Amino acid sequence: MSMMTGKQYRESLSKLKPEIYYMGERIESVITHPAFTPHVNAAALTYDMALAPEFEELLSTKSHLTGEKINRFTHIHQNHDDLVKKVKMLRALGQQTGSCFQRCVGFDALNATYSVTYDMDKKLGTKYHEQFSSLLKEIQSTDIMISGAMTDPKGDRRLSPSQQKDPDLYVHIVEKRDDGIVVSGAKAHITGAVNSHGHLVMPTSAMKKEDADYAVCFYVPVDATGVLHIFGRQTNDTRKCDCFLDQGNAEYGIVGGEALIVFDKAFIPWKHVFMCGEFDFAYELVERFATFHRQNYGGCKAGLSDALIGATYALAQVQGTDRASHVRDKIVEMVHLTETLYCCSIACSCQGYAMPAGCYMADPLLANVTKLNVTRHIYEIARLAQDITGGILATAPAESDWKDPKIGKYVDKYMKGIAEIPAETRIRLIRLLEAMTCGTALAESMHGAGSPQAQKIMIERRANLERKKRLAEKLAKIGDQPKLVC
């Protein structure tokens, strides 16, 4: 088997026994628990769309290792076309789910680790790339979903990993054995963690020699001994358990089902270890992963914005405001900002380049510009959507009130806009807009793939300000005394 269907993906999850906790309870099945099923549904769509004729070209490709047809989420970029198709794929998925479909983090982790392990082997004579390529073949042939686990809790931000009072605030090597390593620590708010098959764990920052035990990269199955997951709260998450309409996007949820992954002396066999103390390469892995992940945001967020714009436009029609010039102008601005984000992702893909490993890398400067724009434009798109929706976005009666035999008639009566359109239509659109523009969804746009300051640091490093200064000095004739001709 090389490509799963959504049904097969669900069946594969049912065979796993990960340790998961949510709201103080041990969760037995992510397939059946209402808090998790929307996230499973969104990920399952990445499997079904890869087999659908209209999306097959975007979501599937050929493995450069085996020549077999594979899901693009397990692929290593081989050219500019791969980088561009990735962005188009993410936009298409965002349009279809209106939520996070979770697989792109692991996708980016695969591509970053592939190139860095190659460089490590060339310089150090290690066998990491060979080991990683073996794992990659397995991932491609089984089409499993992996999370990309980079962010550590970090503790006291003033201190490096090795300076923390509690060494577990960064994932680190506890013991090296003949058959592998033992690790402890945690990775925070990891997308898709509970409904993945395994985790690709990476260092979270540049490391110094004294931090060598924290320079570790490895793969671990989701249900391995010593690995547990604590599922995070989300905006309005209890609505998943007691209502349908009030969820807004009941089928696919709000964002990516993030969780805290705890490693309590977890054992990792050497075949699944891809960095073990090589601190000089920690920063390269972080930067390459960050570049790939920031490349994504003009794709997936453009797709989500397409759905959000559609909901806003539809609601304006329901409320009778769609012909107002200021409403039309705001919707046009939402479109403008969305396409600006998409342009950034396409640009950093087209400006990508080949790495020594033979794979392709997106342009780091433009990728960081893409993500920095997302931290601003998505908020403005959401603000405009809320502006057009009106205050009812925050005060709409509950689904249970609308269905109540006594007061439901009043909710139905007063929630109507245009008389010919049912109140239910307006309520559904309001709830979708609420889900997409409030709380968790916006926080992910700000902090996913790194907070704004991280992008600014990378932009400054890549801006080549000295070259820009020389251009100005040349134009201003600084250091040059030309002869004046009268």
Q: Which two tokens stand for residue 287?
A: 């930067």
Q: What percent of the chain has pLDDT over 70?
A: 99
Secondary structure percentages of the chain, helix, strand, coil, to 5: 55, 15, 30
Read off the pLDDT of each residue in 190-207 and give the average, rounded to a whole number: 97
Is residue 104 annotated as part of the catalytic site, yes or no? yes
pLDDT of residue 484: 61
Q: From the candidates 100, 348, 359, 438, which is the catalytic residue?
A: 100
Q: What are the pLDDT digits (tens) for 219-251?
A: 999 999 999 999 999 989 999 988 899 999 999
Domain ranges of the chain: 285-469
| 30/43 Cα distance (integer angstroms) | 12
Mean pLDDT (the chain) is 96
Residue 99 to residues 78, 130, 145, 327, 334, Cα–Cα distance (Å): 28, 36, 17, 25, 18
pLDDT of residue 104: 97
Is residue 243 annotated as part of the catalytic site, yes or no? no
Confidence category of residue 341, pLDDT binned at 50, 70, 90: very high
Given a cut of 70, whether residue 483 has pLDDT beyond it is: no
Considering the entire predicted model, what is its pTM? Answer: 0.95
Is residue 100 annotated as part of the catalytic site, yes or no? yes
Is residue 359 annotated as part of the catalytic site, yes or no? no
Given a cut of 80, whether residue 1 has pLDDT beyond it is: no
Residue 97 to residues 9, 38, 114, 336, 384, Cα–Cα distance (Å): 17, 10, 29, 21, 21
pLDDT of residue 152: 98
Q: What are the pLDDT digits (tens) for 410-443?
A: 999 999 999 999 999 999 999 999 999 998 888 8
Is residue 142 annotated as part of the catalytic site, yes or no? no
| 113/33 Cα distance (integer angstroms) | 33
Q: From the candidates 151, 191, 312, 370, which is the catalytic residue?
A: 191
3-state secondary structure of 122: helix
Confidence category of residue 485, pLDDT binned at 50, 70, 90: low
DSSP letter for each residue of 147-185? EEE-----SSTTS-GGG-SSGGGS-EEEEEETTEEEEEE
pLDDT of residue 479: 83
Q: From the candidates 33, 39, 129, 293, which is the catalytic residue?
A: 293
Q: From the candidates 39, 47, 75, 104, which is the catalytic residue?
A: 104
Is residue 350 annotated as part of the catalytic site, yes or no? no
Is residue 300 annotated as part of the catalytic site, yes or no? yes
pLDDT of residue 272: 98
Q: What are the pLDDT digits (tens) for 242-282?
A: 889 999 999 999 888 999 999 999 999 999 999 999 999 99
Contacts with 425 (C-beta within 8 Å, 6 or more apart), sequence order:
318
Read off the pLDDT of each residue in 446-461 and give the average, rounded to a whole number: 93
- Secondary-structure class of domain 285-469 per CATH: mainly alpha
Q: From the candidates 19, 97, 172, 258, which is the catalytic residue?
A: 258
pLDDT of residue 2: 80
Is residue 278 annotated as part of the catalytic site, yes or no? no
